[in-house]
Amino acid sequence: MGMPINIVHSSGSGPQTPIALDWTLLPFSASVAVVLFSGTASYSIERTFDDLDAITAGSARWLTDPTLSQWQTATGVTSYSTPIQFVRLNLNALSGVVELKVVQGLPA
């Protein structure tokens, strides 16, 4: 996957398209940010250890990121140092513009 990933959302609700991370990179390092540009939004960041190449996103066990609140309403940042396979933005409500940013570090 090319890095970094920047996806702007100005409408929609519910789980958005999952973004694949390379869980085989060691040491593993990934950061995820949601930037609230305008208006209001409530969202969560979710991650899964499941392989979405083998099952559907609806069958995966999605875990809400514990660093951010369940329905975060301001810009938020989280990071991962243990391997995960996919992350996604879950929009509860959106009356504005948010940008999802994902960056994964590469081994030196």
Q: Is the pLDDT of residue 3 over 80?
A: no
Residue 103 token pair:
């960056």
pLDDT at 54: 87
Residue 28 token pair:
């593993």
What CATH number corresponds to the domain at position 86? 2.60.120.1090
DSSP string spanning 1-31?
--S-EEEEESS--EE---EE--TTSSS--EE
How many domains does the chain fold into? 1
Domain range spanning residue 98?
A: 5-104
pTM for this entry? 0.92
Q: Is the pLDDT of residue 1 over 70?
A: no
* DSSP strands (E only) in 1-108: 5-9, 14-15, 19-20, 30-48, 63-64, 76-80, 86-104
Q: Do strands 14-15 and 5-9 pair parallel, antiparallel, or not at all (unpaired)? A: unpaired
In tens, the pLDDT along 54-98 reads 888 789 999 999 999 889 999 999 999 999 999 999 999 999 999
Could you identify the residue written with the tokens 């609700």? 13
- Rounded to the nearest 10°, the torsion over CA 19, 22, 27, 30 is -10
